[in-house]
Amino acid sequence: MAQTSRTLYLTMDTDWCTEEVLEYALNLFRARRLPCTVFAAGAYAALQQREEAMLEIGLHPNFNGAAQEQYEQRLATLLRLYPEAAGVASHAMTSNTPLLNLFKHHGLRYDRNILRYRDAAAQAFVYYNGLLRLPVFWEDDIWFTVEPGARFSVKLLERDRFRLIFNFHPIHLFMNTASTGHYHAFKPHQHQPQKLAQHRRTDYGALSFFEDLTAYIQKENIATGLLRDYTL
């Protein structure tokens, strides 16, 4: 995709959501014909049949609590599932020099492990080992933690030039998560879609924000893309 002066990259971290929850979230993107980069924490049937131009799969390994000697095994497990992956976004954005070197060693081109929430001036950069490091501009769980209920505002995108990453989680789209209290209330049922449905919010939540953001993208004809195509 040719990059323009105003481009958004929409991404999702699957964490360990169910197939039903992931399929629901993917259908939101399909209905709007918007590309999405999905960072997968495991094997998903929903990711096997995909339109390559609209869906990129990256890796979402969990290094929390892992000793350094366990890093490679955890990364390799996901690489076997998705050998075509060009990028990685660790759970909880965990990164350090050994991990960044490991990503590069295994042929990954970029990592998305930096959060610069609502900092439109934050720039992507090349790490000393050649890995492209991409900052996240907005993320749903940070949003409902620090400014729950704050509606999407066009002021977020009132710049002549930008290339920004908005990151969502399938569970928060499915639940329309509105606050940390709401999240903790339904979290015990996260692998029981029927019970989850009983806890969905109808006020302003993560799904509401997604709908407002994507409506604005389409209204303003803002370019969107996959992270594998991101270049400096």
Torsion angles phi and psi, residue 134, rounded to 5: -115, 125
H/E stretch holding 210 reads: helix 206-220
Contact 45/26 with Cβ under 8 angstroms? no
pLDDT computed for residue 1 by the predictor: 46
Q: What confidence tens digit (pLDDT) does each residue in 184-229 have? A: 999 999 999 889 989 999 999 999 999 999 999 999 999 999 999 9
Domains and CATH numbers, the chain: 6-229 (3.20.20.370)
SS3 224: strand
Query: CB–CB of 182/201 below 8 Å?
Result: yes
Q: In degrees, to the nearest 5, what angle opens at C-alpha 111 toward C-alphas 69 and 41? A: 65
d(CA 201, CA 28): 17
Q: pLDDT tens track of the chain, all 232 residues?
A: 456 789 999 999 999 999 999 999 999 999 999 999 999 999 999 999 889 999 999 999 999 999 999 999 999 999 999 999 999 999 999 999 999 999 999 999 999 999 999 999 999 999 999 999 999 999 999 999 999 999 999 999 999 999 999 999 999 999 999 999 999 999 999 999 889 989 999 999 999 999 999 999 999 999 999 999 999 9
**For the chain, how are helix, strand and coil distributed in percent, rounded to 5?**
40, 20, 40
Q: Are 170 and 22 in contact (CB under 8 A)?
A: yes
> Could you tell me if residue 107 is left (phi over 0), alpha (psi between -120 and 50 degrees) or otherwise beta?
left
Contact 86, 40 (CB under 8 A): no
DSSP string, 87-139: EE--GGG---HHHHHHHHHTT--EEEEEE-TT-TT---EE-TTS-EEEEESEE
**Residue 73: CA count within 13 A, CB half-sphere:** 5
Task: Decide: helix, strand or coil at residue 225.
Answer: strand
pTM here is 0.97
* Dist. CA 35–CA 138, nearest whole Å: 17
Task: Provide the pLDDT for residue 3.
Answer: 60
Q: What is the pLDDT of residue 50?
A: 86
